[in-house]
Amino acid sequence: MSLMNLIHLIGSSSLPPNQSSSHNKKFWLLKSEPDEYSIDDLASQPDKIGFWDGIRNFQARNFILRMSAGEQIFFYHSSCKTPAIVGIASVASPARPDPTALDPAHKYFDAGSDAKKPRWFGVDIKFEKKLENSITLELLKTFRDSELSDLLLLRNPRLSVQEVSKRDWDFILSLQCQQPCADALSPMKGATACTSTSKKRIRQPEASSSVGLSDAAKEGDPPTLASKNLGSAIRESSERSESASRQRMSKRTANNKRAAR
């Protein structure tokens, strides 16, 4: 029997098949460096399914072992210019032994691993979709002390496999309307705001006006600043008009008095 067949046999006999029911469904976050394995790499796999290997942390491994088929996963790009949740995947099968731990030529080889008593496990995940608007770590951090105070990503950022509560999962999904795609973070491109169900959200930019607005305000100052500039300009214009009106009235009165003499 080949080594790979033995590994699959051990995995199928030592781990009962997991199926997630609606009442105990869990949610997850998996971190990967995009240069090594990106959301696009997963999407390009046959049947859009890839094996998540290389886990060499016991806490992360224990999370892998708790995964059930059908559970949803945030796919997170880490160690890059703009760390962010970029897509959603799902658990395609129960955990099984990671063959890379037994391959001396592989960078994830573990000399202490034993095919008869597997130490490290991986899981098959299936690509579901890319997020239209990536949810950046920078945005998530703004809720560190409020809605996302329990999010493991913000408390133990180095862990590559993390469980996400249903409450945090739903809240994070609501942030898509707040965050432009990672490719559009440049100030020159600006941020597209939209209505969001979250308590904190980017305000809808007000229409630009050339009246009293500086170039900076025209190019995308926060709406509150633009509103103040515009309001100030309107007030100044009104005050000038009133002053001119008073001057004309005063001059007319003086002329009338001279004519009366």
Reported as a single tens digit per residue, the pLDDT across 170-215 is 999 999 876 554 444 333 333 333 333 333 322 233 333 333 323 3
Q: Which helix (H) or strand (E) holds 76?
A: strand 72-77
Given this model, what pLDDT does residue 177 score? 72
Tell me the CA distances in angstroms from 43 to 14, 37, 105, 125, one per residue in order.
Answer: 30, 11, 26, 10
Give residue 24's pLDDT. Answer: 85
**What is the distance between the alpha carbons of residues 201 and 94, in angstroms, rounded to a whole number?**
38
Confidence at residue 247, expressed as pLDDT on a 0 to 100 scale: 60
Name residues whose C-beta falls within 8 Å of residue 65's C-beta, 6 or more positions apart in sequence: 15, 95, 121
- Whether residue 20 is predicted with pLDDT greater than 50 in this model: the reply is yes
Q: Which residue has the higher pLDDT, 167 or 2?
A: 167
| pLDDT tens profile 126-148 | 999 999 999 999 999 999 999 99
Tell me the C-alpha to C-alpha distance, in Å, between residue 141 and each of 8, 58, 101: 41, 26, 34
The per-residue pLDDT of the chain, averaged, comes to 74
Nearest partner of 49 among 128, 119, 107, judged by Cα: 128
- Residues 137 and 82: their CA atoms lie apart, in Å, by 8
Rounded-to-integer distance, Cα 245 and Cα 24, Å: 74
The CA distance from 164 to 152, in Å, is 7
- Residue 242 in this model has a pLDDT that exceeds 80: no
Which one is predicted more confidently, 218 or 86? 86
Q: Check whether 57 has a pLDDT greater than 60.
A: yes
Q: In this structure, which amino acid lies at residue 71?
A: E
Position 126 scores a pLDDT of 98
Average pLDDT over residues 51-55: 96
Res 221 pLDDT > 70 = no
Q: Span 103-109, mean pLDDT?
A: 94
Q: Strand (E) positions, 54-187?
A: 72-77, 84-91, 96-97, 121-136, 161-164
Q: What integer pLDDT is reported at residue 23 of this predicted model? A: 65
User: What percentage of the chain exceeds 90 in pLDDT?
Assistant: 58
Residues 6+ apart with CB under 8 A from 45: 127
Of 207, 203, 202, 34, the C-alpha closest to 130 is: 34
Which backbone phi and psi does 236 adopt, to 5 degrees? -60, -40
Q: How confident is the model at residue 2 (pLDDT cuts 50, 70, 90)?
A: very low
